């Protein structure tokens, strides 16, 4: 073969090799493309469909928000109301709040007039923190006088157990007795005093809830009784100032709802009323000759100091061991 022919063959072999090398590269590239690219697309798109609302609480921002939202619920007490627990009325007499809600009135294992136990719902109301004192009642007498109502005067002015007297046309409390509980007033006198203050006598239901709360306790402070908790027979043998026995307060902060003085309430008396009582804000029978006293006094035994004990009396009578307190309704 001639020299120029050898050069031509060599040149052609170089072209063939170059052509073969350039053709192989696209083949390799084409093989890798379907293998890699679909995998990358799958990995990117997978998280989106697998997320769901159930996974949200695990994310830090949502966990933090959830904690902040729940904090007020934990700190707010279930009995919180928009009303203050303690107020002082226009006559400078303190009253405590009894929040709205149900409670059990009556008891199953005592006198028939205390049966049957039944659930009663009461609206919000305020009740006097203390029994009405001679000092407060003297202010009332000096404005209203000792009027005649219900076949008797509001107070039995000549009774030796009374500690407020008319002197030079002014009712004056015997010195040292200003803070003792008022006595010797009729039911009518007690009602008139409460109305003078812009309130009224408590219903039986209001009195009982203020005394026993919602856990059916037999005494305002709970179970058991001794002379450190209340003033009853064999303790002092007389009434004591109305702010005595702070350890015997009721669940709402009212003093001496057991002992010291029995207390007039508004209701008339019917022995079977509990069996037919309305379930909401009962006010007692519509008619009746007797009114109810509650709470036991310094002359009564422990059984009569129970929060469910009730006793009927004629409203024109007065007693050395019977006082009262008032309530005021709460406007919505």
Residues 19-38 pLDDT 10s: 444 444 443 434 443 343 43
Q: What is the dihedral of CA 67, 72, 74, 75, to 10 degrees?
A: 130
* Residue 39 within any structural domain of the chain: no
* Residue 10 within any structural domain of the chain: no
What does the block give as tokens for 210?
């203020």
Kindly report the average pLDDT of the chain as a whole number: 83
Domains held by the chain: number: 1
| CATH code of 128's domain | 3.90.1580.10
Average pLDDT of span 30-55: 39
pLDDT at 6: 52
What does the block give as tokens for 161?
């157990």
* Residue 282 within any structural domain of the chain: yes
pLDDT at 79: 53
Average pLDDT of span 242-264: 98
76 has pLDDT over 70: no
pLDDT at 331: 78
* Residue 150 within any structural domain of the chain: yes
Please state, in angstroms and rounded to a whole number, the distance separating the CA atoms of residues 111 and 81.
36
* Residue 73 within any structural domain of the chain: no
59 has pLDDT over 60: no
Tokens 């669940």, located at residue: 251
Average pLDDT of span 6-21: 51
Domain span at residue 208 reads 86-329
* Residue 33 within any structural domain of the chain: no
What does the block give as tokens for 264?
């007039």
* Residue 163 within any structural domain of the chain: yes
243 phi and psi angles, rounded to 5 deg = -95, 15
* Residue 238 within any structural domain of the chain: yes
pTM of the model: 0.76
**Using 50, 70 and 90 to split pLDDT, how confident is the model at 85?**
very high
**Using 50, 70 and 90 to split pLDDT, how confident is the model at 130?**
very high
75 phi and psi angles, rounded to 5 deg = -85, -20
Average pLDDT of span 258-271: 97
Average pLDDT of span 173-182: 98
pLDDT at 73: 33
**Using 50, 70 and 90 to split pLDDT, how confident is the model at 201?**
very high
pLDDT at 31: 41
């Amino acid at each position: 073969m001639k020299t120029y022919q050898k050069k031509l063959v060599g040149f052609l072999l170089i072209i063939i090799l170059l052509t073969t090398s350039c053709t192989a590269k696209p083949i390799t590239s084409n093989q890798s493309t379907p293998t890699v690219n679909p995998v990358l697309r799958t990995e990117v798109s997978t998280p989106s469909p697998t997320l769901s609302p159930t996974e949200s609480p695990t994310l830090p921002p949502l966990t933090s928000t959830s904690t902040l939202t729940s904090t007020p619920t934990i700190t707010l007490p279930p009995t919180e109301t928009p009303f203050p627990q303690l107020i002082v009325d226009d006559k400078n007499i303190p009253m405590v709040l009894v929040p709205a809600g149900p409670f059990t009135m009556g008891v199953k294992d005592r006198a028939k007039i205390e049966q049957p136990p039944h659930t009663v719902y009461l609206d919000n109301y305020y009740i006097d923190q203390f029994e009405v004192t001679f000092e407060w009642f003297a202010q009332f007498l000096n404005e209203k006088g000792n009027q005649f109502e219900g076949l008797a005067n509001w107070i039995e002015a000549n009774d030796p157990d009374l500690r407020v007297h008319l002197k030079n046309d002014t009712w004056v409390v015997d010195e040292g007795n200003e803070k003792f509980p008022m006595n010797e007033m009729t039911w009518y006198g007690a009602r008139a005093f409460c109305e003078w203050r812009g309130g009224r006598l408590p219903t039986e239901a209001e009195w009982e809830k203020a005394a026993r709360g919602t856990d059916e306790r037999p005494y305002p402070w709970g179970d058991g009784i001794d002379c450190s908790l209340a003033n009853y027979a064999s303790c002092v043998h007389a009434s004591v100032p109305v702010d005595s026995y702070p350890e015997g307060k009721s669940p709402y902060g009212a003093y001496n709802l057991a002992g010291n003085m029995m207390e007039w309430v508004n209701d008339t008396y019917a022995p079977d009323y509990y069996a037919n009582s309305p379930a909401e804000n009962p006010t007692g029978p519509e008619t009746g000759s007797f009114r109810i006293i509650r709470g036991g006094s310094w002359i009564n035994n422990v059984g009569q100091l129970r929060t469910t004990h009730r006793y009927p009396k004629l409203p024109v009578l007065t007693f050395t061991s019977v006082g009262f307190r008032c309530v005021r309704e709460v406007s919505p």
